[in-house]
Amino acid sequence: MTERLPIAVLVSGSGTNLQALLDATADPGYHAEIVVVVSDRPGVRALERAAAAGVTTGVVDWDDHPDRHAFTTAVCNAAAVHGAAALVLAGFMRILAPEAIRRFPNRILNTHPALLPAFPGAHAVAQALAHGVTLTGVTIHLVDEEVDHGPIIYQEAVPVLPGDSEGELRARIQQVEHLRYPQVVDAFAAGRLMVEGRKVTWDPA
């Protein structure tokens, strides 16, 4: 049986990237196991997806914590208590305090709907349309102490088509994320991802 790395997936919304990861982990040859899904607020669709897959869920409500440090401590504790060795952000819309980097060094992954360093932040798709670019895309990266800044693992371009709405462009970006994010997480969990400073190399096989 494949040895699996226990991971916690952090979510905030509908959970389509989470669903892609849940589907991937159903393969007995996949190298990661989702031991808990943690949301920053109750009642989101992502928690329903996790529960339907039989995965433990937890809520660390942003509104219940006095500051980012306290919130981050609670998120890390919620992951660690279930034995998670890494954090995978899947539509998680909160910025973690530096404590998370100390507790999970080079073990926090994120996917971002743009070709970083272009369009960091929460409104990347809308910004790409507003700037009139013809290409945007997906960046999968390790998380460091700056927002959308950590070492890049994988990037793939997505064309911006004439007349695109934000929803249409986002849907095409998500198609790439749903395919590539599980592949990168599998490579990471299998030890096929090597980090040297800001340079990351990985074997997708």
Residues annotated as catalytic (active site), given as ranges: 112
CB 90 within 8 A of CB 181: yes
**Three-class SS state of 12:** coil
148: left (phi over 0), alpha (psi -120 to 50) or beta: left
Distance (Å, whole) CA 143 – CA 61: 21
CB 53 within 8 A of CB 35: no
C-alpha of 146 from chain center:
15
Q: What is the DSSP string of 139-193?
A: EEEE--SSTT-SPEEEEEEEEPPTT--HHHHHHHHHHHHHHHHHHHHHHHHTT-E
Query: Which phi and psi angles does 155 have, rounded to 5°?
Result: -135, 145
CB 75 within 8 A of CB 10: yes
Q: Cβ contacts of residue 38 below 8 Å, gap of 6+? A: 8, 9, 10, 11, 57, 58, 59, 60, 75, 78, 79
